[in-house]
Amino acid sequence: MKAILAATRKGKRGRGAVGKTAVFGLLKRDGKVYTVVVPNTQSAILLPIVSEFNHFRINHSNLKS
């Protein structure tokens, strides 16, 4: 006699973003938060938003371990 048991996974899978509004946010060093409502979360949409902001650059070679 053979029995085939298929376990079902509990819980939901994925991001569960169906029907939700995508919002992208940036936290700047001075504590200000900038948010933008985006149509989707693909890099083609997010990268231009990130490039609009002035960034502080970190020189990792000068950091002491």
User: Distance (Å, rounded) from C-alpha 18 to C-alpha 39?
Assistant: 13
47 found inside a domain:
yes
What pLDDT is stored for residue 20 in this prediction? 86
Q: What is the pLDDT of residues 2-47, one digit of tens each?
A: 666 667 777 777 777 778 899 999 887 788 888 999 998 888 988 8
Q: Which has the minimum average pLDDT: 23-27, 50-54, 55-59?
A: 55-59
Domain count, the chain: 1
Q: Which domain holds residue 44?
A: 22-53
40 found inside a domain:
yes
41 found inside a domain:
yes
What pLDDT is stored for residue 44 in this prediction? 92
Between 16 and 1, the more confident residue is 16
Query: What is the SS3 assignment for 34?
Result: strand
What pLDDT is stored for residue 1 in this prediction? 57
Torsion sign (Cα): 53, 22, 35, 60: negative
7 found inside a domain:
no
4 found inside a domain:
no
Question: What's the pTM value of the predicted model, to 2 decimals?
Answer: 0.53
Per-residue DSSP letter, 19: T
13 found inside a domain:
no
